[in-house]
Chain A
Amino acid sequence: AQTVTQSQPEMSVQEAETVTLSCTYDTSESDYYLFWYKQPPSRQMILVIRQEAYKQQNATENRFSVNFQKAAKSFSLKISDSQLGDAAMYFCAYRSGNTGKLIFGQGTTLQVKP
């Protein structure tokens, strides 16, 4: 069975600085997708970024980018120029290529200090 591990329960960053959230996963599959979701205090789940395992190029969405290390099964999220609105819980998630089922990590709470 696939597992997703986020080893940092809490992180903090100064406004305008850069922070990296860690995620590792375990799988024997070759076809899969990885996601980062943001959950602010409103509880709404918001997709931040998506990565296909077959793509070597790291995904980027504005201030958000990932460092995808397939051999190491690592999928970290980098947030540049952190803003107060980035404060939230961030979840790493895994999806097998042939199902829609998402497997989530435990989450990392990000605090942004003004």
Chain B
Amino acid sequence: NAGVTQTPKFRILKIGQSMTLQCTQDMNHNYMYWYRQDPGMGLKLIYYSVGAGITDKGEVPNGYNVSRSTTEDFPLRLELAAPSQTSVYFCASSKGLAAEGTDTQYFGPGTRLTVL
């Protein structure tokens, strides 16, 4: 059971380039999330999904796109990268919302992205 995996671990992009951050979970969780963490700050929600085919915006969605075609995968797409998108990106998943323990979010190890 690998939990939540993210690739790549590190990436440097040039301004205007695009890329996809991959996220996969093997816990059969319904909910998946993308966060970004700027230096010295807390995490901010970019997008989330409550199940395959269903996604919604979080606090800071501009400049990003997501899709959820399977329960396991939740890729995050950056179009036209900008220096303001330099950050550490975390993917997370949870089983559900209701009972204790099911709403615990399990986080991946993060992707450090630098846009120059």
Number of interface residues of B (CB under 8 A): 25
Decide if B45 is an interface residue (CB 8 Å cutoff).
Answer: yes
Q: Which of A33, A45, A98 contacts B107 (CB 8 A)?
A: A45
Closest to A47 in B: B104
The digit string for B81-95, where 1 denotes a CB below 8 A from any CB of A, is 000000010101010
Q: How many A-B residue pairs have CB under 8 A?
A: 56
Q: A31 vs B1: C-alpha distance in the bound complex, in angstroms?
A: 33
Q: Which of B40, B90, B92, B104 contacts A50 (CB 8 A)?
A: B104
Contact status B40-A107, CB under 8 Å: yes
Q: Enumerate chain A residues within 8 angstroms of B68, measured Cβ to Cβ.
A: none
A21 vs chain B, min Cβ distance (A):
13
**Interface residues in chain B, defined as those with a beta carbon under 8 Å from any beta carbon in chain A:** 31, 33, 35, 40-45, 48, 50, 58-59, 88, 90, 92, 94, 97, 100, 103-105, 107, 109-110
